[in-house]
Amino acid sequence: MGFSKQKAELAVAKSGSSDIQVAMDWLLSHEDELENFPNEDSQPTEDSQPNDQSNAESQSDTTEGQVVKSIKCEDCGKLFKTQEEVEFHATKSGHENFSESTEEKKALTEEEKKEQLAKIEAKLKQRRLEREAREKQEALEKERNRIKSGKEMLEAKKKHDELEMRKLVEQRKREKEEERLARQRVKEQIEQDKLARKAKFLGQPPETPQTQPQPQQQVAQKSAASYSETFGAKEPLSAVRLYVEMNRKDGDGPFSLMTNYPKKVFGPEDYDVPLETLGLGPRAILIVSKS
């Protein structure tokens, strides 16, 4: 595929796979580190020289008996031994100006090879550490966003539940008022029917019933501090507290809910607990105490 044997073996070892495509991908992604890597198997041998007639002819055509020993990149000055190296360098760097040169590209010594290999491994390790650090940072950021999103969802759900609870209490209040007015109209109609039958029996014109608001007012004053409401056994204590807040007539201000028998004062930690769990079912009396 245009790469030396040493580079191919290094790609197989580093990529951990003998698949050609995997090795090629590794070579192309690490071309900067492999630029000065030894390419010994690409040196011309005695067996290959007789078969390459075109190369021999090009060398014999050089002026003044000079022998072409390498190909030089006029853009950066680097030397290459084979056409494959030239093509690889041109693809990587985008350089286009090359010429034949009598300079010989020196082969790397064993120490230089080891040093070059160590540099490549160091760069690979550095890139791996940078990638791991970047992935860790992305994971932390993702977790922060998840926690923030969860808190926002909980807050939105809490506000929604409170709004629904208020709507429910308002609806119950309207329904009770409508029922009270309906019962009152039925009672008035019954009273009118009685008076009409009595007047007909006595031969007198029907009397108009006189309303007596004073006794009703006294009853209202007497029961002004008492509330009666039906709640579901699964509803939390906060529903009762919200009902008291919306119906109390003793002014604003903090208050607490408590029972006498057994005596217990309910705190904020009890507001989300169902009524049946707190022992407030099937019937219970709660006292509203100002704090």
CATH of the domain at 283: 3.10.20.90
Q: How many CB atoms lie within 10 A of CB 235?
A: 14
Does 135 have pLDDT greater than 90?
Answer: yes
Tell me whether residue 154 is in a domain: no
Q: What is the mean pLDDT of residues 100-123?
A: 80
Q: Choose between 217 and 105: higher pLDDT.
A: 105
- Per the domain annotation, does 290 fall within a domain? yes
pLDDT band at 134 (very low <50, low <70, confident <90, very high): very high
Contact 116, 37 (CB under 8 A): yes
Q: What's the pLDDT score for residue 37?
A: 65
Chosen domain end from 103, 128, 153: 128
Q: Which residue has better confidence, 164 or 36?
A: 164
In-domain check, residue 112: yes
Q: Please report whether residue 171 resides in a domain.
A: no
Last residue of a domain, one of 108, 128, 148: 128
Residue 58 maps to a domain: yes
Split into its structural domains, the chain has a count of 2
Q: Is residue 260 in a domain?
A: yes
Q: Is residue 157 part of a domain?
A: no
159: in domain? no
pLDDT category of residue 6 using cuts at 50, 70 and 90: confident
Lowest mean pLDDT among 58-72, 241-255, 266-280: 58-72
Mean pLDDT of 193-201: 80
C-alpha atoms less than 13 angstroms from C-alpha of 276 in its C-beta half-sphere: 6
The arithmetic mean of pLDDT across residues 85-97, rounded, is: 85
* Domain residue limits at 14: 5-128
**Domain end residue (candidates: 83, 99, 128):** 128
pTM of the model: 0.28
